[in-house]
Chains A and B, each alone.
Chain A
Amino acid sequence: MTAEIRTSDGELLSVKLKKVERRRRTTAFLLAAPLLFFIVFAYVIPIFQMLGRSIDNAEMNSFLTETHEVMQTWDGSEMPGEDVTSTFYYELKTAVENKYHGKIATRLNYEKGGFTSLIKKTSRKLKNFDENANFLDQFIDVHKKWGDIEYWQALKRGTDAYHFRKYLTTFDYEQKFDGSIERIPEKLRINVTLWLRTIFVAVGVTFCCFILAYPISHLLSVLPTRYSNLLMICVLLPFWTSLLVRTSSWMVLLQKQGVLNDTLVSLGFVADESRLELMYNMTGTFIAMTQILLPFMVLPLYSVMKTISPSLMRAATSMGATPFHAFRKIYFPLTYAGISAGSILVFVLAIGYYITPALVGGAKGILISNRIAYHMQQSLDWSLATAMATVLLIAVLVVYWLYNKIVGIDNMRLG
């Protein structure tokens, strides 16, 4: 049996220790509280809202609740019965009275094209309906599209409280009304191309940044402070300039009539008629993004390289290794932590890059993030936008997970 140890004021040591421990934890928590608050309210909650929005259709469901309920018994193989059409009539009438039929039209139009005009026309003619006659016939009289069963199927599907169809759209698939999943017609496919292009650009930019940053970082780490500070300023200069300014300056440089082309033409490397297409395509996106993301590779590499003692390379050469061999076997492996930290940083930033591709990329150089912005701002299909954003988020998480599996997050050095 161990004796109970007490402190000088008679308290049990273990109790006292716990108290101290608790106080320390509280202090730590209070110090971190603003950050936690910020993360929860500006990061976690919005992300969950976004996840929700990509599958949420509750508003639509609330507009046409009864129609939706009645339609559950309709199997969709033949035209709907009067129970459905009459319920729909009354609910649409309420919608017109309360002026939210426009929203219904827009939302249903995502399910099937032509719904906007269909709902609008029907709404206008609703007052002429005879509530004792057959509703389906009257609907068809207003617009012959109501005779097409697919519109009724779309109505049933479009009033589900939630659905995952936007995720299919994200990858250029669609769910037919009979429930089968198919690729959309070839000329409409764009998302997969964008995903592949985004990944290609992100990987490519990461690689280019690595190739360019490695020698710079090495130089930074071995140069005397006087020069390395200057070089560091050059590396960080882009950080101190607005992203928009930097991107625009790339536009000035890369245009057909831009500085780079002018120089090449005046030096005679390129004929005036065949000026290089450096902008509004992938080349432009690539060049500009590499330059802009370069510091994110340099900093982690530099911080790792600075800790590598120069005597290690000397030791290796004194043991008979050629400088190249010493580099490959000793120096390079010691920079893995920096390489992986820099790569993941650049990759994650590149995969969601927006302004630069939008401005320099043109139609041929835009990335998935530009498509998300398009759906947010122009097509107003927020569900699709958030579904794409969610896929992007998951992709990044998968990258982190793989990274953690392969390298271990603890080995990451960010500076």
Chain B
Amino acid sequence: MNSKKSDFVKFEQVDKSYDGKELVVKGLDLDIAEGEFLTLLGPSGSGKTTTLMMLAGFETPTNGEIYFDGRPINNIPPHKRGIGMVFQNYALFPHLSVYENLAFPLKVRKVDKSEIEERINKTLKMVSLTGFENRMPAQLSGGQQQRVAVARALVFDPKLVLMDEPLGALDKNLRESMQYELKHIHESLGVTVVYVTHDQGEALTMSNRIAVFNDGKVQQLSGPNELYETPVNSFVASFIGENNTFTGTVKEIASGSAKIETDSGETIVANPIAVSSSGEKSRISLRPERVSIDPNEQLENKFTSEIREIIYHGDHTRVRVNLLGNDDFILKVPNASSDLKLNVGDKLDLGWSSHDCRALDY
């Protein structure tokens, strides 16, 4: 087996503008390794679909070059790129049966009949749709249609498959089970997948790496774990997972720790990620689950808060407190610690380590 390329797909300083005035993708640099499951995650309108469409060949970059498997592809029309694609609305051919839908890319490639049948059977088995060959798309449920769309994008063995919010139209349960199915398919085939979603949970469960998009730019490109634990700027911190923030000014900065005076006048010891000199404004990010209640260990930050609201969530309880002038500070309390008696208006001692508390850009 030949070694996997780390720059199987490469975006080099790619700009895209639809109207000639505004760039919807700005100076995009992105390397995608062979066999990787890379997710483009970002809010609506951040340029994810546009990026995918440029890769598939349906939009041309305004500037820059895209390489696929070592070749520049800006001038290669979509039908010669050999990239499989799953569309958000599935785009199944409504007048063709499931079998004919899957046979379409193979017939185009002039694969002979017996092999077509063999490959279709194999692919349908993979997405557990054996026996549905003769159904028309309209006779399938949303999840089944979605699986046909995936099967159709994979049946001709493309080296790269693009998926644009393929699970967007499904209900929560189906979406979760499809996420696992897609992940397994990806693992068993080793195909490279570029996946678009604006559901962070989906991105975190499925991907090898996630590119967080905002405003036409990649804000952070890293593995799910890293993205969640160590966001590099306040957009990523607030976009991924739940997040408590304080704003303040840097007072003192040393390697690995900074003293920041919050707007309410207290001093927090934080981990300087995106600040470098004193006097800078900063936004401090702290994950709810990193906060200890009634801390007895040695922690740099210890404050007293007042409970404002208690919301029961089944496996855990969320507690909204007022802390250092922030009225929306959220705590997650696992329900196992039910010995804890919480009442609105009670005082609660909180603490956290300076390492978990990240001083980011303002």
Please report A residues at the B interface, Cβ cutoff 8 Å. Answer: 309, 311-312, 314-323, 325-326, 329-330, 333-334
Contacts and interface: CB of A to CB of B under 8 A. Distances in A.
Interface stretch (B20-28, B35-43, B77-85, B286-294): B77-85
A334 B95 CA distance: 7
B79 A314 contact: no
Closest CB pairs A-B (n = 9): A319-B105, A315-B91, A318-B85, A311-B91, A317-B79, A320-B108, A317-B78, A311-B87, A321-B108
A325 B84 CA distance: 17
B93 A330 contact: yes
B152 to A, nearest CB: 7
Contact of B156 (A309, A315, A320): A320
A309 B89 CA distance: 9
A314 B152 contact: no
A312 B58 CA distance: 13
A66 B37 CA distance: 100
Contact of A311 (B89, B105, B108): B89
A323 B58 contact: no
Contacts of B132: none
B94 interface: yes
Given A318-B78, A318-B79, 10 more contacts: A314-B56, A314-B58, A314-B91, A315-B91, A319-B79, A319-B104, A319-B108, A321-B104, A323-B79, A326-B79
A311 B105 CA distance: 15
A320 B109 contact: yes
A322 B85 contact: no
A42 B156 CA distance: 61
Interface in B97-122: 104-105, 108-109
Interface string B138-182: 000000000000001100100000000000000000000000000
Choose among A314, A315, A318, A329 the residue with the greatest number of B CB atoms under 10 Å from its CB.
A318
Nearest to B79: A317
Interface residues of B, number: 26
Contacts of A316: 93, 104
Contacts of B108: 319-321, 325
Contacts of B91: 309, 311-312, 314-315
A20 B293 CA distance: 64
Contact of B95 (A314, A320, A333): A333
Contacts of B156: 319-320
A336 to B, nearest CB: 8
Nearest to A318: B85
Nearest to A308: B94
A315 B85 contact: yes
B79 A320 contact: yes
Contacts of B57: 318
Contacts of B94: 334
B87 A314 contact: yes
11 contacts: A309-B89, A311-B91, A312-B91, A314-B58, A318-B83, A319-B85, A319-B105, A320-B79, A320-B108, A329-B104, A334-B94
A302 B82 CA distance: 32
**Quick one: which of A311, A319, A321, A330 has the most chain B CB within 10 A?**
A319
Contacts of A312: 91, 93
B79 A321 contact: yes
A231 B89 CA distance: 29
Contacts of A334: 94-95
A319 B84 contact: yes
B79 A315 contact: no
Contacts of B105: 319-321
A319 B152 contact: yes
A19 B95 CA distance: 41
B216 to A, nearest CB: 22
